Amino acid sequence: MLKEITISRLVKSEDLNHHGTLFAGRMAEWLVEASFIAAARLAGRPEDVVCVQIHGMTFGKPAARGDLIEIRTNVAYLGGKSITVHAAVHANEDTAPAVSGMATFVTVDRGGKPYAHGLTLPDEYVERHRAIHEQARRIRSRA
């Protein structure tokens, strides 16, 4: 299913670092989980999807206790056996993302061997998501 998936989170006391703002490790966990859900939904077989790389995650603005976080994920790029997902994190409905990053997943069989997922992105979808598609292509060519 190729549509933006949004996961919401509330920043709670146990999510904070020693500065009293959202801990990067917690944010990374949420971002990868949300990205996994996008990849698994598209693949249709969550049990076959594993994460192979988390690409440059940027923490642009801090989030605070009580903030409502939205993690918006979109599939950015498909390889033969891989799915790269872009995630943008918005706090309290800010238009500019506080955090962004990408994660790449691979489809594997029961023995953990990668297999071709046979998925493609329609041209119209790529056109609509041109910026993250190009970003993912650049990142993937360096992987």
- Residue 111 CB, shortest distance to ligand COA, in Å, is 10
Check residue 108 for interaction with ligand COA (CB under 6 A): yes
Token pair for residue 97? Answer: 């993302």
Candidate residues 23, 33, 59, 114; the one interacting with ligand COA per rule CB under 6 A: 114
Closest to 132 in 3D by CA, of 60, 84, 67:
84
Subset of 18-37 contacting ligand COA (CB under 6 A): none
The percent helix, strand, coil of the chain (3-state, each to 5) is 30, 35, 30
Candidate residues 16, 79, 125, 126; the one interacting with ligand COA per rule CB under 6 A: 79
Number of chain positions touching ligand COA (CB under 6 A): 14
| 31, 87 Cβ separation under 8 angstroms | yes
Task: Point out which span in 12-20, 36-44, 102-110, 122-130 binds ligand COA (CB under 6 A).
Answer: 102-110
Check residue 111 for interaction with ligand COA (CB under 6 A): no
* 129, 57, 8, 38 alpha-carbon torsion, rounded to 10°: 50
